Amino acid sequence: MIPYCSSTGTRSTRAALEAAGWRVLVVPTGKDKNYGLDYAIDNGAWSAYQRGLPFDEKAFMRTLKWSAKQDIKPDWIVVPDIVAGGIKSLKYSLGWIDRVRPYGPLLLAVQDGMKPEHIERYIGSELGIFLGGTTKWKLKTMMEWGELCHNRCYFHVGRVNTVKRIAFCAAAGADSFDGTSVARFPCNLGRLNRARKQLALPLFG
């Protein structure tokens, strides 16, 4: 699995990430950049949700235009969504696809209330899945989304910060995951990096 970490301005952390083969997840806050590392782009909906703010469409578009000028292009971009928004989020995301597609490969964020039958007609080589939603729902449905994506489309899991969740992602067949742990606590890099290289083990509890 490819690991992504929140972008960081700390040089020593960036050097350690690069040496370990980690990439960064750029969020449209106006501050996060890739600093020369391979990267993907989140849309910022989760950050806005946490702060009780509306989605910042202008900031998202600025980030896309910034990426278009870089020598390194994004691995993928998360299409704007509504956190825990179910079918409303799906309809909102579908309305953004044509607008975002020129900037790079796309991932559709699946949210609480969505089921595989709601999105299977849309996904494929040009549109993968970003597993978002609330933590409880994410963990409950991860295997189901992994089965849908198998040999069909790219599968990424958001907000993964523990060894147990990395193992769960591997068991679900995720292609990649992201988390903030290493950016906030660089000492966690070695432990989490070893976990993502190991085979998934059965999980309990």
Question: pLDDT digit string (tens) for 39-74?
Answer: 999 999 988 988 899 999 999 999 999 999 999 999
Specify the DSSP element, H or E, that contains 128: strand 127-131
Residue 108 phi/psi, 5° resolution?
-95, 125
Q: Which residues contact 169 (CB under 8 A, 6 or more apart)?
A: 1, 142, 157, 160, 177, 200
Name the percent of the chain lying above pLDDT 90.
Answer: 80
Alpha-carbon dihedral angle through residues 99, 177, 182, 103, given to the nearest 10 degrees: -20
**Cα(94)–Cα(81) distance, rounded to whole angstroms?**
9
Who wins on pLDDT, 203 or 136? 136
Residues 23-57 as b/e (b if ≥16 CB within 10 A, e otherwise) read: bbbbbbeeebbbbebbbbbbbbbbbbbeeeeebbe
DSSP designation for 190: H
What's the pLDDT band for 200 if we cut at 50, 70, 90? very low
pLDDT (mean) for 13-33: 89
